[in-house]
């Protein structure tokens, strides 16, 4: 879970003098600050990221990056071999991987924060970041007699974690400076394809499948 943090101008000037960060976590603990500090309502993390488009300053500061294999899933249609010998079947498939994040804001909607995130990650870790990627292939598979076959894929993915600093010329929800911590975003990993795989799977047909397809 990520939290938005805010800091007013006086706190900002004080921190520059003393080196102390005067910030509070919205929604995390009411005991961490006087009740008067919550006089103004607080924006959600999603609202803050959307406001990145018109804020006077919007910066993502990455802290970690890693590659991994996404969850396995079927791509393309299922093929049935009702014959008495192994047959070849062609399976055409298309699979789209879109970026996702921990605040639930679509990164394909043209928001500025998506561009800011891409540039920050690519600069820090030298990895290309794509908001959306589609793979389209055709595979010929051998399906044993009386079996059903399909193609299973685990997508090569990448993820980055960090925090946002967003500043406004005029007060936004009563404050000039806001922060979004523990932000994570995942997407397709074209730089390390070894994290992904495409496998052919098959099993014997059930009696119901025989009745429906043979």
Task: Write out the two tokens for 207.
Answer: 């009696």
pLDDT band at 30 (very low <50, low <70, confident <90, very high): very low
pTM of the model: 0.77
End-to-end CA distance of the chain: give it in Å, rounded: 50
- Note whether 163 and 62 are within 8 A (CB): no
Please determine, for residue 1, whether its predicted confidence score (pLDDT) is greater than 80: no
Distance CA 81, CA 87 (A): 7
pLDDT tens for each residue of 129-152: 988 999 999 999 999 999 999 999
Please determine, for residue 109, whether its predicted confidence score (pLDDT) is greater than 80: no
Average pLDDT, whole number, for the chain?
A: 84
pLDDT band at 41 (very low <50, low <70, confident <90, very high): confident
Compute the C-alpha angle 50/52/56, nearest 5°.
Answer: 150
């Amino acid at each position: 879970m990520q939290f938005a943090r805010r800091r007013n101008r006086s706190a900002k000037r004080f921190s520059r003098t003393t080196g102390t960060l005067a910030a509070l976590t919205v929604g995390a603990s009411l005991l961490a600050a006087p009740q008067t500090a919550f006089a103004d309502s607080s924006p959600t993390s999603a609202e803050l990221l959307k406001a990145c488009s018109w804020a006077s300053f919007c910066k993502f500061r990455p802290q970690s990056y890693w590659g991994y294999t996404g969850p396995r899933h079927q791509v393309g249609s299922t093929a049935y071999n009702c014959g008495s010998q192994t047959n070849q079947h062609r399976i055409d498939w298309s699979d789209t991987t879109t970026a996702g994040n921990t605040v639930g804001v679509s990164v394909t909607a043209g928001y500025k924060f998506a561009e800011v995130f891409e540039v920050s990650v690519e600069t820090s870790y030298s990895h290309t970041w794509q908001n959306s990627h589609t793979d389209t292939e055709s595979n010929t598979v051998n399906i044993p007699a009386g079996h059903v076959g399909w193609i299973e894929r685990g997508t090569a993915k990448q993820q980055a974690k960090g925090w946002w600093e967003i500043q406004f010329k005029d007060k936004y929800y009563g404050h000039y400076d806001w922060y979004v911590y523990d932000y994570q975003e995942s997407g397709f990993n074209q730089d390390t394809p070894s994290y992904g795989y495409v496998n052919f799977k098959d099993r014997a047909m059930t009696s119901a499948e025989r009745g429906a397809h043979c």
